[in-house]
Each structure stands twice: as structure tokens, then as C-alpha cells.
A = this chain, B = another copy of it.
């Protein structure tokens, strides 16, 4: 940790600051420059006392040296974590494809969709039962009924199922039906929920909050891992920027950044990240080329009947064609689908 002091500080003030540092059980190393005095505090539990040190009279800035996350970091675990989802290996050589409707609507549409994406080669079925909607007047998801349909679709196709859990009180029931718990973008810093899924045994897909830095996102994963659940993976789904031509701005940079900083898998969700049907294929391919361990795509057999996000859903035939393109790009970067 490097503490920069304000210009024109006198010896007595510096002494006061070093005394306070020692009171926190830390060891200060003072260096007087021509213009600035700085204090190095090495090897300490830096982040714990950062704000208290910043509050000291005469302190200008406090710059931590160590990263604030631990168990999710590449330094903590050098090798890639591979998560086993009922036999599907995420984080290894294979690029894993998640597909299905944004929200579960009719039983029939879900079964059709599940059969179609399975046939095209998808590995995981997605579908929303509890839906976070901007408007209280919009469709909020079919809840447990939808969970039951998902379980039925899994039985039908053998595809493991991922679905969102929005509230701590839903964790139990979602665990009963789903193979992966999804934490949505709007709950990316719902810390009680993170702790709760950290106590479950199910793999967790952690979507990036739309205003969260990569560091904050890693910290949210740390919440889950710190509670004992090591089967966490990231899903980049776009961040909020000034651009309005697309629904969000897909942060493709996050893919190599996460792979560099963490041992956990990361997938990409082009459906939300770009939000325009015609552009989704390009972004899915870009994600694989950038090193993503998986891709999640919204597919719906009848988009105009969809109860949410129809405009960004691919028809099964489009998805099938995209699968072929994704296979080629995966091969080009030394992976398979």
C-alpha cells in the first residue's frame, strides 16, 4: 500500500500518520521526495484499513498494491477451474453452448425449443422462470410451473438446465429443479443472494452487473467462493455505456482480462450484450475467438409469442446455422464445440 501525503505537510503531521499506521499493526516506510512524501506499507492486510488511512489528516491518496480478491484469482490457483455440470465440462477444451428461450412461456414452446437446440448440438438449456423486468406491469415469469417444465425438458433431452434465482427465498426451490443457478445482472451486487448461493451445492453462473467493473465482478464471485461454493463461472452480458444503437455494449475485453486474472471459466451472452437479432451471430463468434469458455444464445421457435425479449431471439434454424459457424471458429482457436 502506498500512501501519498499532501504537499507542504510538516514533520509532526507525518509522525502522527506513522503513529496511526502502527496502531493498525502495520509498518510504515517513509520516503521524502523533493516534492512529495510517500509512505510504503508492505505486506499488510491492505484493503482492510484503506479507508481508515484515507481518513487521516494530511493523507492525499492511498494506493493498494495487492488485489482485493483472493480465492478467485489466478495467483491463488494457477490452473483453469473446470466445472462439471452433469457431465458437461465447462472451462476445459470444449466451448460450451447454452441455448433456449429468454423466459419459459408455454410448455409446448419450451419442449420444441429444447429438442431443436439439442439437435443442433447445444449442451445446456436456458430458460427463465423468475424474470427481473423493468416494469411491474410486464410478465414476471411463470415461477415454479416454469421450473417444472424445465425439468421435463431436461428429462426429454438430457440437457442440464440453467435458470435465474432472483431472491434468497427462491434459492431452495430453484436448487430443486435447476442444474445451474443464474445470478442476473441486476443482482450482481445483491450480496445476501451471493452468500446464499455460496452455501448451495449447485454451480453458479454470475452475470456481470451492468455498471460493475471487472474487479467488482471478481469480488462478487469471491463472495460465493468464500462461502464454500467453488463452482462459479462468469457471464459477460454487456455493460451500460452511452451507445444506443445496441442494447448494451458487449465488453469483449473482459474475456481475456478475466482469463488472465482468474482461474474460473467465463462465457459470453451475445443476446443481451448486443440485443439485435442480426448482430448476435457476429458477437457469438467474436466471443469464442476472444477465448470465452462458452456462449449463451436465446432461441425461440416463435419469437412473436415470446413473453420477453422476442426481438433478440434466434429461430431454431438460425441457431443451427450459427452452431456450424461457431464450430469452425472454435476449431480455429484450438477448441471444439
A210: CB under 8 A from chain B?
A: yes
Taken together as a complex, chains A and B put the C-alpha atoms of A126 and B56 apart, in Å, by 23
Q: Kindly identify which residue among B191, B219, B222, B253 contacts A243, using a CB–CB cutoff of 8 Å.
A: B253
A250: CB under 8 A from chain B?
A: yes
Q: What string of 1s and 0s marks CB contacts (under 8 Å) between A37-65 and chain B?
A: 01010110001100110111000000101
User: How many copies of the shown chain assemble into the complex?
Assistant: 4
**Complex contact A279–B304 (CB within 8 A):** no
Q: Decide: A66 near B36, CB < 8 A? Known: A31-B29, A138-B48.
A: yes
Which one, A144-152, A199-207, A307-315, is touching chain B?
A: A307-315
Which residues of the partner chain B approach A226 to less than 8 Å between Cβ atoms? 136-137
A133: CB under 8 A from chain B?
A: yes
**Complex contact B256–A274 (CB within 8 A):** yes
Please report A residues at the B interface, Cβ cutoff 8 Å. Answer: 2, 4, 7, 20, 29, 31-36, 38, 40, 42-43, 47-48, 51-52, 54-56, 63, 65-66, 68-69, 75, 132-138, 140, 166-170, 186-187, 189-193, 195, 209-211, 213-216, 219, 222-223, 226-227, 239-246, 249-257, 259-261, 273-274, 276, 278-279, 282-283, 285-291, 303-306, 308-311, 313, 325, 328-329, 331-333
Q: Beyond A52-B306, A260-B279, A282-B291: 16 further Cβ-contacts under 8 Å?
A: A2-B38, A32-B42, A51-B311, A52-B304, A68-B134, A136-B222, A136-B223, A136-B226, A136-B227, A239-B241, A242-B242, A243-B253, A249-B253, A253-B274, A282-B290, A289-B289
